[in-house]
Copies of this chain bind each other. A is one copy, B any other.
């Protein structure tokens, strides 16, 4: 890995840059970012060596897109137009169907590997970049068969070096499952934050009363709207299904509460407690 271009120098792109510098001390890391402040910060922080120009794309061993999903879908074809035959182009987006579909007939489709590393924090921007963000996490790769064998192997090697476990899925299944295990959590957290801020708006110090439970549940309400509004929009159908199911469950629980059916609430919560085992599984990952 001699030359890498990272498009989007936020939390994900910046953290990848840190790891690549560690793995390949001699690599030339070049970056692009629509936001000139982010590009400057990323250079000041030493995340990238210089700004990449279009010409650099053709010489790169690896081009990574770490930008909002709708932007990836828009520019991925144009990026593929410019890269060399041996360049691996990978994206890190949280939805996969729209992006894969955008390049499905592209003559250089075999240069592209659709990835989604399940890694992140609620912070954003180059300053949020941290070392080892991907270590021990899962990377979902979609439509692997559409990528050339050599470039598949290059992508797999990169995952190994970053300490990631690979799972292969098709884009539709990916988007459906992620709506439930990730995108819905973000909506529920944002709306919980809104509900509490609305009622407590005139008594800010009331938040003294909130404990670590509240903090944990609304943590995702700190997430970047620039990243998440496009995810919600792009994965609208699956997210609507999950949101409808969630609201139905809340309404059903509300009905138990309205008729003060404590045994039924107890029974319901006891069944849900089994999520402990599932979460223990996540922790081990």
| Residues of chain A at the chain B interface (Cβ within 8 Å) | 118-122, 137-138, 140, 167, 174, 177-178, 180-182, 184-200, 203-204, 206-223, 225-226, 228-230, 232-233, 236, 239-240, 242-247, 249-251, 253-254, 257-258, 260, 262-263, 265-276, 278-279, 281-283, 285
A210 touching B229, Cβ below 8 Å: no
B275 touching A221, Cβ below 8 Å: yes
A274 touching B197, Cβ below 8 Å: yes
Complex Cα–Cα for A266 and B68 (A) = 13
| 12 more A-B residue pairs beyond the given contacts A188-B192, A225-B269, A229-B263, with a C-beta to C-beta distance below 8 A | A119-B211, A122-B213, A167-B209, A177-B209, A181-B200, A185-B213, A185-B214, A187-B250, A210-B282, A216-B220, A240-B257, A247-B250
With A187-B253, A209-B138 as known contacts, state yes or no: A180 contacts B194, CB within 8 Å.
Answer: no
Distance in angstroms from A229 CB to nearest chain B CB is: 4
18 A-B pairs, CB-CB below 8 angstroms?
Answer: A167-B208, A180-B195, A181-B207, A185-B192, A188-B250, A190-B268, A191-B250, A194-B271, A198-B245, A213-B220, A215-B279, A216-B217, A217-B219, A225-B265, A225-B267, A229-B262, A232-B262, A239-B257
Contacts of A118 in B (CB 8 A): 209-211
Copy total for this chain: 2
Distance in angstroms from A153 CB to nearest chain B CB is: 23
Contacts of A246 in B (CB 8 A): 191-192, 195, 250
Complex Cα–Cα for A236 and B262 (A) = 10
Distance in angstroms from A200 CB to nearest chain B CB is: 6
Task: Pick the contact of A222: B195, B242, B276 (CB < 8 A).
Answer: B276
Complex Cα–Cα for A211 and B183 (A) = 11
